[in-house]
Amino acid sequence: MKRLYDIVSVLRKKCPWDMEQTHESLRGAMIEEIYEAVDAIDRGDLANLREELGDITLHVVFHSNLASENGEFELKDVLNEECEKMIRRHPHVFSAENKDKKAKTVDKVLEKWENIKSKEHSTETISAKLHDVPRALPSLMRSFKLQKRAAKVGFDWDDKTGALDKILEEFDELKDAISEGSAEHMEEELGDLLFSVVNVSRFLSINPELALKASADKFVKRFSKMEEIASNNHLKLEEMDVEQLELLWQKAKEDLSKQL
What is the share, in percent, of the chain residues with pLDDT greater than 90? 82
Do the Cβ atoms of 89 and 116 come closer than 8 Å?
yes
- Give the homologous superfamily in CATH for domain 135-206: MazG-like (1.10.287.1080)
User: Read out DSSP for 208-257?
Assistant: HHHHHHHHHHHHHHHHHHHHHHHHHTT--GGGS-HHHHHHHHHHHHHHHH
Over the stretch 97-122, which tens digit does the pLDDT of each residue have? 765 556 678 877 777 777 777 777 66
> Which CATH number applies to 2-76?
1.10.287.1080
Q: Is the pLDDT of residue 199 over 60?
A: yes
Question: pLDDT at position 122, please?
Answer: 65
Over the stretch 36-60, which tens digit does the pLDDT of each residue have? 999 999 999 999 999 999 999 999 9
What is the share, in percent, of the chain residues with pLDDT greater than 70? 96
Residue 195's CB: how many other CB atoms inside 10 A?
Answer: 18
From residue 61, give the alpha-carbon distance in Å to each of 13, 51, 74, 92.
Answer: 15, 15, 9, 31
Alpha-carbon distance of 135 to 137, in angstroms, equals 5
Same fold, 2-76 and 135-206: yes
Question: pLDDT at position 114, please?
Answer: 72
Question: Would you place residue 123 in the very low, low, confident or very high pLDDT band (cuts 50, 70, 90)?
Answer: low
User: Which string of b and e fits 88-104 if b means at least 16 CB within 10 Å?
Assistant: ebbbbeeeeeeeeeebe
From residue 156, give the alpha-carbon distance in Å to each of 33, 131, 135, 203.
Answer: 36, 18, 22, 10
Secondary structure letter of residue 72 according to DSSP = S
Quick one: average pLDDT of 9-17? 97
Q: Is the dihedral of CA 78, 83, 86, 87 positive or negative?
A: negative
What's the count of helices (H) and strands (E) in the chain, helices before strands? 13, 0
Mean pLDDT of the chain: 93
pTM: 0.73
Domain chopping of the chain, boundaries:
2-76, 135-206, 210-258
User: Read out DSSP for 82-108?
Assistant: HHHHHHHT-HHHH-GGGTTS---SHHH
Over the stretch 209-254, which tens digit does the pLDDT of each residue have? 999 999 999 999 999 999 999 999 999 999 999 999 999 999 999 9
